[in-house]
Structure 1
């Protein structure tokens, strides 16, 4: 039992995930852009766009990844929006229905709303981002594609996502790996019929050697709590379910979720996905093995 892994990258994916991060992601304040990112972006947006971004129908935004994947020709933002604008609702249904079985909204009105919102988001925010972002994304996609022939699918996904292990199971036929920056360090994962889309986090190279990297700080913060260390010790023995971890630590569910999230974002915890949910967690020692050298490299670099 196995599945196929495919790697894909396009600026359109990042356009969509950046908007998703702005309007949907409940933890956007913790992303690599910093807590002030959303507030700063809001100042750039028109009142008209801000109002449209509150429309509940944008909840289907993530499904556009299935259309980006199938978009013909050069997948620039402009070409994609032109292609989507000129597609009849029936064509959109045909391109989505192999993986999405039901649609709650009128496709025509939702398509017009999404095209309008993405067009204005591009004009007011996305086209002004550092071009280096898109170069980093393409480079990451190319690197992962080169690893495909020689790396087992499960291991490659775990490596890209910093700890998500998609276990082979009935119903999973393909996993699409897409690099993204705006939701870093989170992986945005969507489950469809037979398909999983993993938008994995890619970090930007450090520009200021006096500032510790986001990755290094995440790891150090994750290790700075007694309960998290106890969780790591517990799951090092064997994979444990959320229920088992909660019983062992003796905290309420919300606090357990908080600690598990901190460990997952640092890459210290492996999440074992079966079908569309996490069944268990185990320790992932890679970040610890590099921690001493990462700290030494930072200290040496800042005092040269």
Structure 2
């Protein structure tokens, strides 16, 4: 049993994901952009628009918006997509989505109109002003990774998403991977029956003025190992996949703290996250990432371990 893997990106994806990032308050301290980004964006909004966004949640409507961005024939341009979304009749709206979902919001036409207005204003006040190199890098990411023909779909998806393993269960026919920037290091995934969309952290890093600045990936990796409970999690997962509850019971600490530890290990790429539909079933040790720790540190230091003499040999 397997599924088809597709890599996709359009500016509309990042338009939606940037707004998703702003609305997802619980993530503001976790994103690579940091809480200052949220505060700066908020300061640029009108009080009326800021109030509107304050009352907007991430729910079924949002899930359908991501799906609309994928199925739209006009997604290569933000303006073309917004025009297409605005002109859809209610019948056309149901027609393009019904192959994937059967549950829709009440008064779907009004929902669509509200989404259109919100995205249009967000584009005007924020998205059209971002560094276009971000959009170019995301597009390049999708195009270049399409050439990873030596990997099977399952392994390729796990490598690109830094450890998300979408299990080939009955009914899953296509997995679409979409790189994103704003929500890094988080991944966002939605299941629509036979189709799953996963917006994965592209690992595009902001430019640093410091020549000796370590990469966020290396810093996150080394920092994730600085807590005893996280090392215990890795040890617990060394032999077989475990559920979240099993990890909680093994550590003997709260679910919230355990979740934070798993989040840090997951973002460092040290865990495989096994996904069935929209549910994380188990976690397992990502051995290949552990094997990269030493080499990553040597690369940062600019040292070749094979050329280093062994101090023990010198003492003898």
The answer to whether TM tops 0.5 is yes
Query: Tell me, which stretches of 5 or more residues in structure 1 are unaligned?
Result: none
**Shift in CA distance, 175/74, structure 1 to aligned 2, threshold 3 Å:** closer
Local SS of the residue matching 1:273: strand
* Equivalent residues in 2 for 1:67-78, closer than 5 Å: 67-73=68-74, 75-78=76-79
In structure 1, what is the Cα distance between the partners aligned to 2:266 and 2:115? 32
Deviations 1:41-78 (A, max 9, x none): 10111112112213447632232222222222462100
Paired with 1:109 and 1:29, the residues of 2 have a C-alpha distance of 33
Q: Is the 8 A contact 1:29 1:36 kept in 2?
A: no
| Structure label with greater radius of gyration | 2
Deviation at 1:197, TM superposition (A): 0.5
* Alpha-carbon separation, structure 2, partners of 1:257 and 1:58: 20
What residue in structure 1 maps to residue 221 of structure 2?
219
CA separation in 2, counterparts of 1:170 and 1:132?
A: 39
| Residue deviations 1:148-180 (CA, integer Å, cap 9, x gap) | x43111111101111110111112111111110
1:183-221 deviations in Å (ceiling 9; x for gaps): 111111111122111001112245223332221221122
Structure 2 unaligned regions, length at least 5: 304-316
Q: Is the 8 A contact 2:205 2:216 kept in 1?
A: no
Partner of 1:40: 40
Question: Residues 46 and 23 of structure 1: is their aligned pair in 2 closer, same or farther, counting only changes over 3 Å?
Answer: same
* Equivalence for 1:176: 176
8 Å CA contact 2:232–2:251 kept in 1: the answer is yes
Q: Secondary structure at the match of 1:30?
A: coil
CA distance in 1, matches of 2:247, 2:120: 45
Secondary structure of the residue aligned to 1:98 is: coil
| Cα distance in structure 1, aligned partners of 2:158 and 2:57 | 32
- Aligned pair count reads 300
**Structure 2 length normalisation: TM-score?**
0.89
Q: What is the correspondence of 1:49-68 to structure 2 with a 5 Å cutoff?
A: 49-56=49-56, 59=59, 60-68=61-69
More displaced stretch, 291-300 vs 13-22: 291-300
Which position in structure 1 is the counterpart of 2:106?
105
Deviation at 1:24, TM superposition (A): 2.6
8 Å contact from structure 1 (residues 58, 114) kept in 2? no
Greater Cα shift, 103-112 or 85-94: 103-112
State the alpha-carbon separation in 2 of the partners of residues 103 and 95 from structure 1.
12
Does the 8 Å CA contact 2:11/2:76 hold for their aligned counterparts?
A: yes
Alignment CA distance shift 1:220-1:183 (3 Å): same
Whole-Å Cα distance in 1 between the matches of residues 266 and 57 of structure 2?
30
**Residue number in structure 2 paired with 1:271:** 273
Provide, for residues 233-292 of structure 1, a one-character-per-residue CA deviation record: whole Å limited to 9, x for no partner. 110111112222122111121221111111111110111112331221111133332223
CA distance in structure 2 between the aligned counterparts of 1:56 and 1:15, rounded to whole angstroms: 16
Secondary structure at the aligned position of 1:280 is classed as: strand
Matches for 1:277-288 after TM superposition, within 5 Å:
277-288=279-290
Distance, in Å, in 2 between the alignment partners of 1:205 and 1:241 is: 32
Change in Cα spacing, 1:51 to 1:287, as seen in structure 2 (3 Å) is same
Judge which range, 204-213 or 235-244, deviates more.
Answer: 204-213
| DSSP-derived class of the 2:292 partner | helix
Q: Which residue of 2 aligns with 1:20?
A: 20
2:167 aligned partner: 167
* C-alpha RMSD of matched pairs (Å): 1.8
Distance (Å, rounded) in 1 between the aligned partners of 2:296 and 2:156: 23
Which of 251, 254, 278 aligns to 2:253? It is 251
Match in the other structure for 2:235: 233
TM, length-normalised to structure 1: 0.93
